[in-house]
Chains A and B, each alone.
Chain A
Amino acid sequence: MENKKTDKGGSNRRNFLKLGFMSSVSAVAGASLLSNFSIQDEEVVESGEKLRLLTPDGKIVEVDATNVNKYPEAHITPEESRKGIPNRKFVMVIDLAKCKNARKCVEGCQKGHNLDYNEEFMKIQLLQDNPESSPYWLPKPCFHCDEPPCVTVCPTGATFKRDDGIVLIDSERCIGCKFCVTSCPYSARIFNWGAKAKFDDKSQPYSPETSLPASKGTVMKCDFCPDLLRQGKLPYCASSCPMGVIYFGDKNEDIVTNGTETVSFSKLIRERGGYRHLEHLGTKPNVYYLPAVNRQFPLDRGFDVAPDIIDRYKDVPYVQDLKNLGKI
């Protein structure tokens, strides 16, 4: 009898210990699993404003980057932004022979202007001029035309052309009539349809030169980053491109640069056959394209992107052929 009791007691104790051990292990494992997930969440979140640094003691810390674009101390008010940077005439040259749809320009611009995933100031189009030629990737910012149809039709003067050639939007004056969106033949403008949390960001005062913070019910577009230009830096797209596709500079001093190469603007256009898109419309754009000849990369390299981005080009015959062949 007693044996049985102790036996039972022994097995009970064993069971109890086993149970306790298991539950503690699972509790700790569960807790650390949960915290692992939460850390993973943090890693997944876009940390555009956080810098990872090593302290001298060898510890890794994350600090807030100071103001994302380090805007100069003299804040340019909407009034002042109507006058341009004196004696400049900004111009951009995009070398289609080197573009392989890396989309770093799109992402750099989105980061610099605090844009969401589908809001793109710089759009990459896949165009094919005629059925015999090869399609090519066309990065398309706002062209900052010299005779802009968007400025002509704005009823309140919310969009304006400055002396340095840049066309800006003052979203404190925009009434959201979208006439400029309909009149731009290059579809360069996008609209803020609803309210978003990022519109309430008061960390820096609004300036048309930064296009931050945006506001609900107003239009926005590529602004050639005048805030960076005032600091002597290239716009986000030009500095983000790994292939050096985007050259930017001042037509008055006849120099454009892509960050690594600096060349004479007039020489570049003359020798490489630079052209402007839809020239016959008479808008006189300030973005020149160098034709996609002697391409640095085969076209197919450009399809190494997310499927939803490839899906955008589903109407291009070349893409349909590739899909039929099962290559993408």
Chain B
Amino acid sequence: MKSIKYKYILITSLIIAFFFNFNGFSQELDASNYKMRLSLSTFKQNDNSRMLEVSFIGQNKEDRKDKLPVFDAEIKFYNEDNLLGTAKTSKEGIAQFTIPEGQNYITDEDGFINLIAKFEGSDGLDEEDDDIQIKDLFLELNLKEIDSVKTVLVRAFTKDSTGVETPLEGVNVIISIGGMLSKMKLEEVIIEDGEFEYVFPTDLPGDVNGEIIVYSTIQDNDDFGNVVKNESVNWGVFKNNNLIEHNQLWSEAGPLWMYIVLTILLLGVWANYLYTVIYLFKIKKEGKEIDREQVELNTEL
């Protein structure tokens, strides 16, 4: 009886393990555990072109930190129903598409451009899309020295269909300078009346020639997306901290006095050795002569 019980337990446990297994397998192969997220953002760049960026990533429903980017998926970019172009996602799940400056956008009655990014869908993934509505913002950056005070002048405005400029109100603009690895924020302002004046600090070094790139940026604005304008100006006061030292203990060539002392010591010692060796040869020569004399004497005798 007992053996039969054990047998049944064994069978049941094996079957359960078997099933758990299938779960393990299925977890590996398809994306049913992941919720797909497609998000679109827009960047108006310094040359007035507009870059549309899509991030297409699957997020694990249970473990929100587990993100799977979709690779090589074709994303279509539309302005209303007008197909602007397509791009494929990279290994990080990012697809970028740049629209050059002169593009005529279809706007709605408030002047907003409707931009849509769409993933057509496939066997394993559903159709996804995202859209944003933005207004085209014009940002002007001027770096001028007014009364020998270095000033940054920023103007922001929108244009309506007839080309009339409307200055901007209540938008955050960040003024920053470019560094080797990142941009350093100098000031964040809220633009009133479409204009802003900022006194540039005088203690910034800039690069080796004193050049500084100044950026004015609008970030993640609901109405305007991202807009950036930058300008290079020679307002830096460069101070070279690289004191290139020569002939130090830690440089390639050592201190001069070390070479001198070593040479003197070595010359002294090796000269002595040489002297010794020369004298040894002299002794040898003398010995040979004596030998020769001996032989001569013997032969004479």
Binding site for B on A (CB under 8 A): 22, 25-26, 28-30, 32-33, 35-36, 39, 51-60, 63, 65, 86-89, 147-149, 151-152, 157, 160-161, 163-165, 229, 232-234, 248-255, 257, 259, 262-264
5 nearest A-B pairs in the assembled complex, by CB-CB distance: A58-B124, A255-B179, A87-B208, A32-B21, A262-B184
Residue of B whose beta carbon sits closest to that of A260:
B182
- Our pick among B14, B69, B180 for the contact of A25 (Cβ within 8 Å) is B14
Closest-by-CB residue of B relative to A258 is: B182
- Point out the residue from A55, A161, A234 that lies within 8 Å of B250, measured CB to CB: A161
Give Cα distance in the complex from A298 to B25, angstroms.
43
Select B181's contact among A57, A257, A263, beta carbons within 8 Å: A257
Instruction: Give every chain B residue within 8 A of A151 (Cβ-Cβ).
Output: 250
Once A32-B21, A58-B125 are accepted as A-B contacts, the answer to whether A255 and B91 lie under 8 Å apart by CB is no
Are B242's CB and A53's CB within 8 A?
no
Q: Is the CB of A59 within 8 A of B18?
A: no
Asked, given contacts A39-B24, A57-B125, A58-B31, whether A51 binds B241 with beta carbons under 8 Å apart, the answer is no
A54 touches B180 (CB 8 A): no
Q: Are A163 and B180 in contact (CB under 8 A)?
A: no
- Which residues of A lie under 8 Å from residue B24 when comparing CB positions? 36, 39
Task: A160 to B182: give the CA distance in the assembly, Å.
Answer: 28
Min CB–CB distance B44 → chain A (angstroms): 22
Partner of A33, one of B21, B185, B250: B21
**Contact of A253 (CB < 8 Å), options: B15, B20, B34, B179:** B179
Q: Given A39-B28, A60-B28 in contact, is the A53-B68 Cβ separation under 8 Å?
A: yes
- 24 sampled A-B residue pairs with Cβ under 8 A: A32-B18, A36-B24, A51-B91, A52-B68, A53-B68, A53-B69, A53-B71, A54-B31, A56-B70, A56-B73, A59-B29, A59-B124, A60-B31, A60-B68, A147-B250, A151-B250, A229-B180, A249-B179, A252-B205, A252-B238, A252-B239, A253-B207, A259-B182, A263-B184
User: Which residues on the B side are within 8 Å of A51 (C-beta)?
Assistant: 91
Given known contacts A32-B18, A54-B70, A253 and B251 CB-to-CB distance under 8 angstroms: no
CA distance A89 to B183 in the complex (A): 18
B15-33 contact mask (Cβ, 8 Å, vs A): 1 or 0:
1011011101000111100
Contact status B21-A25, CB under 8 Å: no
If A57-B125, A165-B242, A249-B181 are given as contacts, then 14 extra A-B residue pairs at C-beta distance below 8 Å, sorted by A number, are A26-B11, A28-B18, A33-B18, A51-B91, A53-B71, A59-B31, A87-B240, A147-B250, A151-B250, A161-B251, A164-B242, A229-B180, A253-B205, A255-B179
* Contact (Cβ within 8 A) A33 B17: yes
Looking at B14, B29, B122, B185, which has the most chain A CB atoms within 10 Å of its CB?
B14
* Cα distance, A1 to B122, chains bound together (Å): 68
Taking A25-B15, A252-B205 as contacts, is the C-beta distance between A232 and B30 under 8 angstroms?
no
* A255–B184 CB distance below 8 A: yes
Interface residues of B in 234-258 (CB under 8 A from A): 238-242, 244, 248-252
Q: Please, how many angstroms separate the alpha-carbon atoms of A161 and B252 in the complex?
A: 9
Residues from chain B with a CB closer than 8 A to the CB of A148 are 250
Residue of A nearest to B204 (CB): A254
Closest to B71 in A: A53
Interfacial residues of chain B within 171-205, with CB under 8 A of chain A in the complex: 176-177, 179-185, 204-205
State how many angstroms separate the Cβ of B205 from the closest Cβ of chain A: 5
CB distance from B232 to the nearest CB of A (A): 14
Chain B nearest CB, measured from A264 CB (Å): 7
- A25 CA / B16 CA spacing, docked (Å): 11
The closest CB in chain A to the CB of B89 belongs to: A56
How far, in whole Å, are A202 and B55 apart by their CA atoms in the complex?
35
Report Cα–Cα, A149/B248, bound state, in Å. 11
Pick the residue among A163, A254, A262 that contacts B183 (CB under 8 A).
A262
B31: chain A residues at CB < 8 Å are 54, 58-60
Q: Is the CB of B181 within 8 A of A233?
A: yes
Looking at the complex, which one of A30, A59, A251, A262 makes contact with B182 (CB distance below 8 Å)?
A: A262
- Nearest CB in chain A to that of B70: its residue: A54
Asked if residues A29 and B205 are in contact (CB atoms below 8 Å), the reply is no
Q: How far is the CA of A79 from the CA of B28 in the complex (A)?
A: 47
**Nearest chain A residue, comparing its CB with the CB of B243:** A146
> B242, A56: Cβ atoms under 8 Å?
no
Cβ-defined contact, B11 with A232, below 8 A:
no
Contact call A257/B208, Cβ cutoff below 8 A: no
Q: Let me know if B11 and A25 touch, CB within 8 A.
A: yes
B contact residues around A88 at 8 Å (CB): 180
Do A152 and B181 form a contact, CB below 8 Å, given A59-B31, A164-B242, A165-B242?
Answer: no
Residues of A close to B17: CB separation below 8 A:
29, 32-33
A31 to B249, CA, bound (A): 67
| A152 pairs with B30, CB closer than 8 A | no
Given contacts A39-B28, A51-B91, A164-B242, contact A29 B182 (CB under 8 A): no
Chain B residues, CB < 8 A from A160: 252
* Residue in A closest to B240 when the chains form the complex, CB atoms: A252
CA distance A29 to B58 in the complex (A): 32
Tell me if B241 and A89 are in contact (CB < 8 A). yes
- Say yes or no: A54-B71 contact (C-beta < 8 A), given A25-B14, A151-B250, A257-B182: yes
Residue among A55, A160, A161 with max Cβ neighbours from chain B (10 Å): A55
